[in-house]
Amino acid sequence: MIDKKKTQALFDNLINKSLLKQEIYQKTLDSFNMLKTGMIDLVEKYKAQKSEDAQKIAFKYKDRSEFEAEIKFAGDTLVFMMHTNVFEFPRNHEVMKTPYIKKDNDRSYCGIINIFNFLSDSFKYNRVNDTGYLIGRIFINKDMHYFIEGKREIGFLYNSFGNSVMDQEVACNILESAIQYTVNFDLLTPPYDNLKEVTVQEFISAIDSMRIKTGKRLGFKFQADIE
């Protein structure tokens, strides 16, 4: 015999969870568009700089797609990428221990916006083996609250999930913090032993497409970096 209550409970759970994820998706997209607006505004402010030195330095915005945008400044490019799925924090994550989450577990479901740092020349010269770095992840939940995992200027400024609400001012602050971190994240010379031997084929390939791997930190691991 079919248990109608059990079936209805299944449908109710499916509908409620799906509606929750749709709401979070929209809140994340709204936040991503705030970041895009912040990039456009920042580029316009930079264009207003009157000094000759400022005019020599590239500062450009590019809308890659609905879910990707980039801002290029000097030799660096920051790519902001919104994931189209919704995630939940692991049970052992520090955020899950906060009173904010314990009062309503639905708050632990979040959309994610990733921030990647690339060398601008990697795109310019199509150096497909070059390395980019994840410098931050922005989590957005149904309440439009946000939490950031990231490096230095990015992550440590925003660590109160229960009180931090995303708005245009916050989006601009995150953007400027990401740029500040990138400016201070310098390109280091790769270890000599990594490059002292090269095959003829590798050398020819390097001439053709600059395939000798370049990155600000060769061997960089996001989760292990302590700088």
Among 97-106, 187-196, 207-216, name the one with the lowest average pLDDT.
207-216
Most confident of the ranges 25-29, 54-58, 155-159: 25-29
177 or 131, greater pLDDT: 177
Residue 26 has a pLDDT of: 98
CA distance linking residue 184 with residue 209, whole number of Å: 28
What value does the mean pLDDT take over residues 124-133?
A: 81
Helix (H, G, I), strand (E, B) or coil at 88: strand
Which of 32, 9, 20 lies closest to 106 in space, CA to CA? 20
Span 143-202, pLDDT tens digits: 999 988 886 656 544 458 889 999 999 999 999 999 998 988 776 665 656 555 555 565
Residue 157 has a pLDDT of: 42
Domain ranges of the chain: 4-209
22 or 155, greater pLDDT: 22
Average of per-residue pLDDT values in the chain: 83
Residue 221 has a pLDDT of: 37
Reported pTM? 0.82
Question: Residue 164: phi, psi to the nearest 5?
Answer: -95, 115
Cβ(154)–Cβ(181) under 8 Å? yes
Residue 93 has a pLDDT of: 86
pLDDT above 70 covers a percentage of the chain that reads 78
* Measured CA distances, 8 to 3, 14, 19, 22 (Å): 9, 10, 16, 21
Helix (H, G, I), strand (E, B) or coil at 137: strand
